[in-house]
Amino acid sequence: MDKRTKFTLDEKEMPTHWYNIQADLPKPLPPGLHPGTGKPLTPDDLAPLFPMELIKQEVSTERWIEIPDEVRDIYRLWRPTTLFRAHRLEKALDTPAKIFYKYEGTSPPGSHKPNTAVAQAYYNKQEGTKRITTETGAGQWGSALSFGCACFGIELKVYMVAISYHQKPYRRIMMETWGAKCVPSPSPDTKTGRDMLAKDPECPGSLGLAISEAVEDCVTHENTKYSLGSVLNHVLLHQTINGIETKKLMEQADAYPDIIVGCIGGGSNFAGLFLPFVKDKIDGTKPDLRIINVEPASCPTVTKGPYAYDFGDSAKLAPIVKMYTLGHGFIPPPVHAGGLRYHGMAPIICHLHQLGFVEARAEHQIATFKAGVTFARAEGIISAPETNHCIKVAIDEALKCRESGEAKTILIAHSGHGHVDMAAYDAYLSGKLIDYEYPKEMVEAALSELPKVG
Amino acid sequence: MDKRTKFTLDEKEMPTHWYNIQADLPKPLPPGLHPGTGKPLTPDDLAPLFPMELIKQEVSTERWIEIPDEVRDIYRLWRPTTLFRAHRLEKALDTPAKIFYKYEGTSPPGSHKPNTAVAQAYYNKQEGTKRITTETGAGQWGSALSFGCACFGIELKVYMVAISYHQKPYRRIMMETWGAKCVPSPSPDTKTGRDMLAKDPECPGSLGLAISEAVEDCVTHENTKYSLGSVLNHVLLHQTINGIETKKLMEQADAYPDIIVGCIGGGSNFAGLFLPFVKDKIDGTKPDLRIINVEPASCPTVTKGPYAYDFGDSAKLAPIVKMYTLGHGFIPPPVHAGGLRYHGMAPIICHLHQLGFVEARAEHQIATFKAGVTFARAEGIISAPETNHCIKVAIDEALKCRESGEAKTILIAHSGHGHVDMAAYDAYLSGKLIDYEYPKEMVEAALSELPKVG
């Protein structure tokens, strides 16, 4: 047996450019629309929110975009990340499949998120931004951007969904350790927040509301920009460093995936890994490559939602984009995989799904934790609840191989560790975890509110 | 400037042998004594507790001891670990010093502990052990041994100090995720525990009591052995893989440390790193190398304790060894660095201190967290409270270099991350952390109880 477990690159071999899928799409992405006018977005529309370099990246069709040296210097703290061959998991499953996982959990905040957080902080710094606002749900993104802003000495204000702020203090403390200010949303710091608190002082908050507060704070303060951690094209672009590394490392392992699996919430982690591979499917080099997006059965955006123009946020302040959506007013059930609780999906992923290059699957949370525990006992790593979704599908595919005798190569996009999600494992291990059914009626109600555009 | 940040070894270059300092000590270690008779320990005395191979390693004077392939196969999941050059910390401190840190936080449980946990589980498996018992304070060791036992299919029972069991559930859940059983100590599962609960149903427990329960459970059950995570010679031996890697990596960086700093509780992490270097001081190759052990000011074993024979545990069931000690009955103040709250110290470290090869320093916890936050904002990693102790001293030494203009090379033994210690950072950041004075009278009382032996 080939015993090699880890495939690594020296930091000298770290990619120098991000890969921009927009150069290779057989059809261009449908344009984003202005939330107020419904007309195609212009760079000027976005200028109050983002630095110009990121706005340019959002619409660029250049294939390779250079990673600034200052960003690479910080990436070096944890990148390139390791590709693992899951020998011990294969043995536990008694499968002829070859399972690999690219692990993003060694970054300081413990996930893929800083790949874009550091880049966004850098471009803001370059253009004179003194302060950034953002929102966060369970806190993965907020902690990553806190780290990014600490690297460049930018002030950061994070609006954290109130219920998570109170129930999950560890991510909030991480943000503060890196020097950011984090407040529960709704907060008294914005008109949106004050209005909501006047209506309901005990309001638990939502991601949509937190986005509204962060955007309002941005546009009402000097030298302040706003930052988003997923969905947008420039975010996915920054994540492609992961896929470029993985392609090199799979070559080192003398392998190419038959199946790539990843979890999708807004889609940035998985897209970052698969975009450099999907290129091979688009150009016909690897027609049989399967790319499987895995989402929660209780928030099945791609598997059940229509492909339609919708707002990125519930308060209708964010751009309108064409995507699979469950409706901008939909509030997903409280699954532990907080990073997958989003009504929409990255337009790039939706477009590739429409074109038939990627597929989607939905999983219930109890089954995903069962898979996560199997993975932890074999490979050691305790994975984030989000990641457990694609581990579940990888195990299913490996077990199919056991039946068929095929030695397929399965690649998992492992987004990070679950060190601050142990309460979810506790619920699973003590039999208290529940599955949430697909809330069909709530989705239908939310879908009736789609904007009449496009 | 040399920009290189990370120095890594391919898994093919992973050390094949542990380094045994007992081969190179100018004077042999004083013998361990039987806790009942006070006579020198024989292998037969230890046989009820440990597998024979570990007992042999405990007294071996062979210089290199081969690491079994099965252990190396599991080490591959995270080893070799990375040596970092702390460019960003150097810049933040404006120091000419070159600061390096060897980071053990990427192991599944997040610390150096599995280096010995995996080895101990392996030797137990080889000798037919079906079940292991151990104790744990804050849970680092218990979680590491849970992972180790999961790797070899051995049942594990962990007695966790009750107050930590209730206050710090995350480590307990990690243990359960890897399949171990964890109970609060005192527990109703042993006579020692029942007696204590009868006396005080609300007893918060102590490490000494938990050791007693684990040992009692071991000797009263079939096919059961006991395991200890620090202090003993074989534990330090297994940790030397870290120092051997570090020596190779420092060569890669074309550097040799002037100063090595590490935190010490039982001493296993730091000894694992410095033992392969102290060899160079013993044989006269590097007479100016300084090795600084850092302990809490409130539990200053080496800086304030006498060098004397004492019991390893408060219940007087563990062997009597010659070490610096604050007395086996001493209960250290509740500093957040739970891994440094031990009355004694590894005999090997104490012996080297006696011989003048290593020095010791004590630090208060507020200053260590201040240093930890400086480190996190520069290098990204949020460190364990234990590790913050040596980061504090490294920063002090780097600032001395700023004064003197010397470009000293400082190497930090970074034992692991602080992801499940965020409550301690919260206390520091919100100004609620307190320093504990050295409890002189309690120590004097405890020292009056030293055994009359040796």
- The tens digit of pLDDT for each residue in A362-376 reads 999 999 999 999 999
* Residue type, position A284, single letter: G
End-to-end CA distance of chain B: give it in Å, rounded: 55
Given pLDDT bands bounded at 50, 70 and 90, which one contains residue A138? confident
User: Searching chain A, which residue's CA lies closest to the CA of residue B4?
Assistant: A11
Q: Does a structural domain hold residue A419?
A: yes
**Does the beta-carbon distance from A6 to B11 stay under 8 Å?**
yes
Amino acid letter, B335:
V
Contact (CB<8Å) A8/B4: no
**SS3 of residue A225 by DSSP:** strand
Name A363's bridge partners. Answer: A296
Q: SS in 3 state form for chain B?
A: CCCCCEECCCHHHCCCEEECHHHCCCCCCCCCECCCCCCECCHHHHCCCCCHHHHHHHHCCCCEEECCHHHHHHHCCCCCCCEEECHHHHHHHCCCCEEEEEECCCCCCCECCHHHHHHHHHHHHHCCCCEEEEEECCCHHHHHHHHHHHHHCCEEEEEEEHHHHHHCHHHHHHHHHCCCEEEEECCCCCHHHHHHHHHCCCCCCCHHHHHHHHHHHHHCCCCEEECCCCCCHHHHHHHHHHHHHHHHHHHHCCCCCCEEEEECCCCHHHHHHHHHHHHHHHCCCCCCCEEEEEEECCCCHHHHCCEEEEECCCCCCCCEEEEECCCCCCCCCCCCCHHHCCCCCCHHHHHHHHCCCCEEEEECHHHHHHHHHHHHHHHCCCECHHHHHHHHHHHHHHHHHHHHCCCCEEEEEECEECCCCHHHHHHHHCCCCCCCCCCHHHHHHHHCCCCCCC
Residue B336: domain span: 6-13+68-110+233-447
ipTM, two decimals: 0.96
Contacting residues of B for A382, CB less than 8 Å apart: 108, 174, 177
Phi and psi, residue B452, nearest 5°: -90, 75
- The answer, yes or no, to whether residue A343 has pLDDT greater than 90, is yes
Check whether A267 has a pLDDT greater than 50. Answer: yes
Q: Do A177 and B382 touch (CB under 8 A)?
A: yes
A292-327 burial by CB neighbour count: b if 16+ within 10 A, else e?
bbbbbbbbbbbbbbebbbbbbbbbbbbbbbbbbbbb
Longest dimension (CA), chain B: 65
Answer yes or no: do B169 and A422 touch at CB < 8 A.
Answer: yes
For A378, the closest chain B residue by CA position comes to: B151
In a domain, B28, yes or no: no
Which residue of B167, B373, B422 to mutate against A (max A Cβ within 10 Å)? B422
Helix, coil or strand: residue A108: coil
Contacts of A174 in chain B (CB under 8 A): 382, 422
d(C-alpha A351, C-alpha A357), whole Å: 9
User: A-B interface: how many C-beta pairs under 8 angstroms?
Assistant: 124
Residue A198 lies in a domain: no
Concatenated DSSP letters for A4-73? --EE---GGGS-SEEE-GGGT-SSPPPPPB-TTT-SBP-HHHHTTTS-HHHHHHHH---SEEEPPHHHHH
Mutate to test the interface with A, among B5, B177, B375 (most CBs of A within 10 A): B177
Query: Which chain A residue lies closest to B371 (C-alpha atoms)?
Result: A177
Query: Given pLDDT bands bounded at 50, 70 and 90, which one contains residue A256?
Result: very high
Note whether A330 and A324 are within 8 A (CB).
no
Facing residue for A147 by CB, picked from B10, B78, B380: B380
Chain B residue at shortest CA distance from A369: B177
**Which of B84, B377, B419 is closest, CB to CB, to A110?**
B419
Determine contact, residues B416/B387, Cβ cutoff 8 Å.
Answer: yes
What's the CATH code of the domain at B410?
A: 3.40.50.1100
Question: Is there a contact between B131 and B149 (Cβ–Cβ < 8 Å)?
Answer: no
Please tell me the predicted confidence (pLDDT) of residue A2. 64
Q: Which residues contact B402 (CB under 8 A, 6 or more apart)?
A: B93, B94, B95, B96, B97
Q: Which residues of chain B have pLDDT under 50?
A: 1
CA Rg value for chain B: 21
Q: Is A369 within a domain?
A: yes
Best residue in A7, A72, A76 to probe B by mutation, most B CBs within 10 Å? A76
Sorting pLDDT into bands at 50, 70 and 90, what band is A454? low
Q: Longest Cα pair distance anywhere in chain A, in angstroms? A: 65
**DSSP label at A307?**
E
User: What residues form DSSP beta bridges with A226?
Assistant: A133
pTM score, whole prediction: 0.97
Report the C-alpha gap between B46 and B53 in whole angstroms.
11
Share of chain A above pLDDT 70, in %: 99
Percent of chain A having pLDDT more than 90? 91
Predicted confidence (pLDDT) at residue A247 exceeds the cutoff of 60: yes
Q: How far is A378 from chain B (nearest CA, A)?
A: 7
Interatomic CA distance for residues B156 and B171, integer angstroms = 15
3-state DSSP assignment of residue A188:
coil
A-chain CB neighbours of B106 within 8 Å are: 106
Q: Are B75 and B198 in contact (CB under 8 A)?
A: no
Contact call for residues B425 and A173 (beta carbons, < 8 A): yes
The mean predicted confidence, pLDDT, of chain A is: 96
pLDDT for position B365: 96
Q: How far away is chain B from the Cα of A239, in angstroms, using its nearest Cα?
A: 19
Cα(A274)–Cα(A287) distance, integer angstroms: 14
List C-alpha distances in Å: A30 to A26, A59, A147, A324, A454.
12, 11, 33, 13, 9
Residue reference for tokens 């799904």? A353
Chain A contact set for B167 (CB, 8 A): none
pLDDT digits (tens, 9 = 90+) for A80-110: 999 999 999 999 999 999 999 999 999 999 9
Please give the pLDDT value at position A1.
Answer: 47
What is the number of domains present in chain B? 1
What angle (nearest 5°) sits at the alpha carbon of residue B429, between those of residues B427 and B430?
A: 65
Structure tokens at A401: 């191989």
Q: How many CB atoms lie within 10 A of CB B367?
A: 17
pLDDT of the residue at B436: 95
Measured CA to CA in angstroms, residue A324 lies from A154, A309, A358, B28 at distances of 34, 8, 13, 72
For B9, other C-beta atoms within 10 Å of its C-beta total: 18
Are B177 and A425 a contacting pair at CB < 8 A? yes
pLDDT in tens, B192-215: 999 999 999 999 888 888 998 999
Residue type, position B290, single letter: R
Are A306 and A447 a contacting pair, CB within 8 Å?
yes
Is B227 inside a domain boundary?
A: no
The answer to whether the Cβ–Cβ distance between A426 and B108 falls below 8 Å is: no
**Within a domain: residue B204?**
no
Q: CA A8, CA A79: separation in Å to the nearest integer? A: 10
Neighbour tally for B448: CB within 10 Å:
9
Mean pLDDT of the A250-279 span = 97
In a domain, A120, yes or no: no
pLDDT of A131 over the 80 cut: yes
CA–CA dist B232, B238 (Å, integer): 10
**Which residues of chain B does A6 touch, with a Cβ-Cβ cutoff of 8 Å?**
11, 76
Task: Name the residue with higher pLDDT: A454 or B222.
Answer: B222
Neighbouring CB atoms inside 10 A of A340's CB total 26
Chain centre to alpha carbon of residue B328: 18
- Residue B54 inside a domain? The answer is no
